[in-house]
Amino acid sequence: MFKKLKILFFNLFQLLLKVLPSTYACFLSNLRQTIMRRKIKFFYLRDKNLFKVESNFFTMFFNDKMRGFNTYAYGIKNRAQSLADTYHLNKIKFYDDDVFIDCGANYGDLFIWTLINKLKVKYISFEPSPEEYECIKLNCPGQININSALSNSTGSYDFYLKSSSGDSSLVEPAGGFTKKIKVNTVTLKDFVLKNNLKRIKFFKLEAEG
């Protein structure tokens, strides 16, 4: 019975977050964080039409309300470490100026992981979605952030946006999409040769399609 009530409460809470205006949704989310005794705060920046989350002395910007609330429900550090565990980054010995390529960077959470671990890598992000790219510029300042998709050919192609689940793709998603746009693509080989990269220490690839 308790488990069913818990699920019902969670679903109701998610529904409220979804239908409430952005500012009120942030207030409700922050109320939950306070009740759960988590030092995590969400903000809506009307001038940028973006959301911001602060925790663990770090700040992240995101564009999709529900995805951001759920992604950072346990904090920025937790999110970064969860991704790092997925890619087994703790098994890799990084040195200063190692090239770290993040394909399908989304909000740039892996860059935050490098900051948490005080790594001085050369971080390069590829994120074709315009809205996520605007967040990356804020989340990964001073890094090489590319608003293009890595592909098997260099050119311009259709790109299907599905930011709510992080499933934007060069191939039309089976579950539908919100908008179709044109994006520039580049091959990894062309990028490496153009930028005279001698050695890539880590290449993360999460690119639907």
User: Tell me: the pLDDT tens digits for 34-77?
Assistant: 999 999 999 999 999 999 999 989 999 999 999 999 999 999 99
Q: How far apart are CA 95 and CA 80, in angstroms?
A: 19
Integer angstrom CA distances of residue 178 from 68, 162, 167, 184, 203: 17, 6, 11, 19, 29
pLDDT of residue 168: 84
Q: Which two tokens stand for residue 198?
A: 């001698």
The CA-to-CA distance between both ends of the chain, in Å, stands at 42
**pLDDT given for residue 84 in this prediction:** 96
Can you give the pLDDT at residue 13?
84
Write down the pLDDT at residue 2: 67
Between helices 76-86 and 109-116, what is the axis angle to 10°? 100
Looking at the DSSP bridge assignments, the partners of residue 123 are: 100
* Tens digits of residue pLDDT in 158-181: 888 888 777 788 888 887 888 888
